[in-house]
Amino acid sequence: MAATKESILDKFPFPVIPKIIGEPNFESLREVQRKLSNNAGSIQTNLGGGQHGYLALTVRPDIYFGLTGQVFAPPNDPGPYPIIPPGATNAQINAIERTQKENQRVFNEFNAVGNALKQQLLGALDETYLRGLRHNIVGFLNVNVLQMIYYLFTNYGDISPSDLAANENRMKASYDVSQPIESLWQQIEDAMAFAGAANAAFTAIQILNLGYDLLFRTGMFKDELKDWRRLAPARKTWPVFKRMMTEAHRDLRQQSAASHGYQTANMTVQNEPEDHHQATIDALQQLANATMADRNAVANLTEANAVLTNTTMDGIPKAMATLGQQMETLTSQMKTMQSNFDKLRGLQVDISNPKYVHKHFEKLITSTNTRRNKFWCWSCGVNKSHGSDDCKWKITGHREEATSSNMLGSTPFGRRHA
């Protein structure tokens, strides 16, 4: 069915626009234009990029280009009949007729949407305020709705230079990334519409540069803005920018939610200023040290038990003393292990997660073992300068023959620090 003004009106989201009582002003005119633009954009067409319907009927071409990155070319009247060249085949004739029919449909729909919007605007205010555009004979026949809108803004909008300056300041207000990014798009596009109504529209480049700058200043979109800079110039349009940064903001929001959930579940003290991740690593370091000490204590205990098993009756008292010393060391290390596990519980680290523990814990054990094998002393433990055999700070019971692989009752930290 061919599009008519009446059939188009039925499709509008705002089929009726409330009437302005008395003389219109900027705010009342902007509200009317907003509803008209919603109606125009709701009718699908492939013209002007195919993404914004007939929005070009209610906004200036420069604003349309700034918003869409596309040029809207009004369709031409194809005429009532197709032009068939001499000698055309049946297939060619059929193709020409189909094209002419489609072009006629598009042209008629374009006019029907424009007429429906014009009827709505005329119904939204007293016709007195548009008499300057009315022809004595044909009325508003040769005037389109866009001409009417900007005639009204020019004569009744009353936008001063200070109003434009305030509008620009609103448009440049810093963006808070905790807020929906749609609020930023609305901030910019509302300012675009305001400036356009005063015949002072921003260019597409100005809008893109402003959006870039506002997001750059947040410090949260560095990679995405780098991707934007790498785009070919032809692709750098406002819709593409909005789509890229909306996706980036969604990823940022998801990462923030995941991080917040993790920190909430693993927080030691609510208002503690330290880095919780580092606190976890420190606790794992301590646990790694204790684990290495425990491994060596068990090894020494095993060795002492073997000695006891192979000892004669005369050597049993000495072996028992050694075994008692190893048991004391093992008990001490078990207490250290328990203390470090308690610290981990305080941090509420998910130590049941093998990926997390393996990544940090085993690496720290290996690191601890490597450092200990370089310099270790029975009295001083891990150090940078000496072993058990040349210690200058020996304590009572020092064992010069002790090594990192056979601690003889000491710990990775040494007996001085036990």
Per-residue pLDDT, 112: 95
Per-residue pLDDT, 403: 87
Per-residue pLDDT, 286: 55
Residue 369 has pLDDT above 50, yes or no: no
Q: How confident is the model at residue 371 (pLDDT cuts 50, 70, 90)?
A: very low
Domain boundaries, the chain: 5-156, 161-265, 276-417
Phi and psi dihedrals of 139, rounded to 5? 65, -125
Per-residue pLDDT, 361: 46
Q: What is the pLDDT of residues 94-131, one digit of tens each?
A: 999 999 999 999 999 999 999 999 999 999 999 999 99
Structure tokens at 324: 């008692």
Rounded mean pLDDT, 171-178: 93
The residue assigned the tokens 């308690």 is: 342
* pLDDT: which is higher, 301 or 216: 216
Buried b (16+ CB within 10 A) or exposed e, 71-108: ebeebeebeeebeeeeeeeeeeeeeeeeebeebbebbe
Per-residue pLDDT, 191: 92
> Whole-prediction pTM value?
0.56
CB under 8 Å to 89, separation ≥6 — which residues? none
Min mean pLDDT across 9-18, 63-72, 311-320 is at: 311-320
3-state SS string over the chain?
CCCCHHHHHCCCCCCCCCCCCCCCCHHHHHHHHHHHHHHHHCCCCCHHHCCCCCHHHCCCHHHHHHHHCCCCCCCCCCCCCCCCCCCCCHHHHHHHHHHHHHHHHHHHHHHHHHHHHHHHHHHCCCHHHHHHHCECCCECCCCCHHHHHHHHHHHHCCCCHHHHHHHHHHHCCCCCCCCCHHHHHHHHHHHHHHHHHCCCCCCHHHHHHHHHHHHHCCCCCHHHHHHHHHCCHHHCCHHHHHHHHHHHHHHHHHHHHHHHHHHHHCCCCCCCCCCHHHHHHHHHHHHHHHHHHHHHHHHHHHHHHHHHHCCCHHHHHHHHHHHHHHHHHHHHHHHHHHHHHHHHHHHCCCCCCHHHHHHHHHHHHHHHHHHHHHCEECCCEECCCCCHHHCCCCCCCCCCCCCCCCCCCCCCCCHHHC
Q: How confident is the model at residue 3 (pLDDT cuts 50, 70, 90)?
A: confident
Per-residue pLDDT, 337: 60
Average pLDDT, the chain: 80
Min mean pLDDT across 87-91, 169-173, 306-310 is at: 306-310
